[in-house]
Amino acid sequence: MDALSEVLQDFRLSGVSYGRCELQHPWSITFPHQQLLRFHFIGQGPCWIHTDVQGWQQLNDGDLVLLPQGTAHRLASAPDVEGESLKSCHITKLGSNVCEVVREGTGVTNTLFCGSMTLTAHALDPLIALMPPIIKGCDVAGNDPIVGPLLTAMTAEASQPQIGSATVLSRMADLLAARLIRCWVNCSGTATTGWLAAIRDPHLGRVLAAMHREPGHNWTLESLAGVAGQSRSIFAKRFSDVLGEGAAHYLTRLRMQLAHELLEQGGISVAEVASRLGYESEASFARAFKRTTKVSPGVVRRTISGRTAMDFGF
């Protein structure tokens, strides 16, 4: 397995929150920025999406857009529709992570499926940060033979809703988002510096894969150079030149990202998190965590809260 595939094994989407919308023209809804991956699938259009970077873009039946960083945006039945229509929508919660949004109007009905997903591996934040603010499924369908049939299957499921359709569509959206992101990675060019350049480097890629696979291992500069198959000095310089930081600093950030994820999940003590990530004591881990994240592990644990309808942007 190549290093990129090995790291992408950690690419998992969870907590898919999902809203099925039946909206009659004219309507317009704002989706604020959130630290989640957002998606919108158009069952029956047309509708329009607006972002500050790309302005208004039309979406038609079967289109899917993915916003990897949860960029603020607006959906509307037409670009000239103003105001916030959510106040006049009737929202019904159908389950712990599914809701139905209905708005009556005077014009044609749009059917949308809007959702957000949590990327369970914070260690992939560098990859997500490199991605564009919005990706359209139809734009990359030609680079992945599975995207087209998936969009067709979602259109069929949306046009004839049955028992369990919400669950089926959310699972399809989960898979489609993963395929779109992987497709973007494969088509993202050949940069000579940065995370993607490092993961594709035959020496540095092995090191990144090893650190992601065993973040709690007692890694030293010597042992990492051994994984790379290079001398200590050559490895240290190459790592810093390509990634813009030393291997020790990268490893610490990776551990703290994983620690944040574990603390957010709850049900695990700070001491256990410290042990999993290779720290000899809870105190040394807490110091490293606060130095890197600017908050203490206890603060992260205390701020854990349940997901709400706001995860849909509603």
Is residue 143 very low, low, confident or very high in pLDDT (cuts 50, 70, 90)?
confident
Q: How many domains does the chain have?
A: 2
126 and 210: one domain?
Answer: no
For 263-299, what is each residue's pLDDT tens digit? 877 778 999 999 999 999 999 999 999 999 999 998 8
pTM above 0.85, yes or no: no
The residue out of 128, 160, 188 marking a domain boundary is: 188
Establish if 307 belongs to a structural domain: no
* Strand, coil or helix: 123: helix
How wide is the angle at C-alpha 116 spanned by C-alphas 134 and 39, nearest 5°?
35
Residues of the chain with pLDDT > 70: what percent?
Answer: 87
What is the domain extent for residue 276? 195-302
Task: Compute the distance between CA of residue 44 and CA of residue 108 in angstroms, rounded to an integer.
Answer: 10
pLDDT for residue 50: 96
3-state secondary structure of 233: helix
- Chain mean pLDDT for the chain: 84
108: which DSSP letter?
P
- What pLDDT does 37 receive? 84
Residue 3 is assigned to a structural domain of this protein:
no
Question: Does pLDDT of 6 surpass 80?
Answer: no
Tell me: the pLDDT tens digits for 12-68?
666 667 788 999 999 999 999 887 788 898 888 889 999 998 999 999 988 889 898
Q: Are residues 179 and 57 in the same domain?
A: yes
Q: Identify the pLDDT of residue 307.
A: 46
Residue 168 lies in a domain: yes
Same domain, 58 and 99: yes
The answer on 289 and 141 residing in a single domain is: no
Q: Are residues 218 and 258 in the same domain?
A: yes
Residue 239 within a domain: yes
Q: Is 161 helix (H, G, I), strand (E, B) or coil?
A: coil
28 falls within a domain? yes
- The residue whose two tokens read 């907590």 is 15
Spatial CA neighbour of 75 closest among 54, 103, 48, 57:
48
Question: Does 311 fall in a domain?
Answer: no
Cα angle 127, 133, 134; round to 5: 110
> Between residues 250 and 160, which one has the greater pLDDT?
250
Evaluate whether residue 165 is within a structural domain: yes
Residue 6 in any domain: the answer is no
Quote the CA–CA distance of 16 and 244 in Å, as a whole number.
34
Q: What is the CATH number of the domain that holds 276?
A: 1.10.10.60
C-alpha–C-alpha distance, residues 276 and 272, integer Å: 6
Q: Supply the CATH number for residue 107's domain.
A: 2.60.120.10
The beta strands (E) that lie in the chain are given as 13-24, 28-31, 37-44, 47-51, 55-59, 64-67, 73-76, 90-93, 98-103, 109-119, 135-136
Do 122 and 267 lie in one domain? The reply is: no
80: its two tokens: 């000239």
Shared domain check, 181 and 220: no
Q: How far is CA 244 from each of CA 7, 185, 247, rounded to the nearest angstrom?
A: 19, 20, 10
Alpha-carbon gap, residue 258 to 6, rounded angstroms? 17
In a shared domain, residues 54 and 82: yes
214 and 76 in a common domain: no
For residues 171 and 94, state if they share a domain. yes
User: Could you report the per-residue pLDDT of 108-135, keeping only the tens digit for each?
Assistant: 999 998 888 776 655 567 777 778 889 8
Mark which of 131, 157, 188 sits at the end of a domain: 188
The SS3 of residue 117 is strand
184 and 205 inside one domain:
no
Q: Which of 114-123, 173-182, 195-204 has the lowest mean pLDDT?
A: 114-123
DSSP string, 234-299: HHHHHHHHHHSS-HHHHHHHHHHHHHHHHHHH-SS-HHHHHHHTT-SSHHHHHHHHHHHHSS-HHH
71 and 130 inside one domain: yes
Which of 153, 188, 223 lies at the terminal end of a domain, its last residue? 188
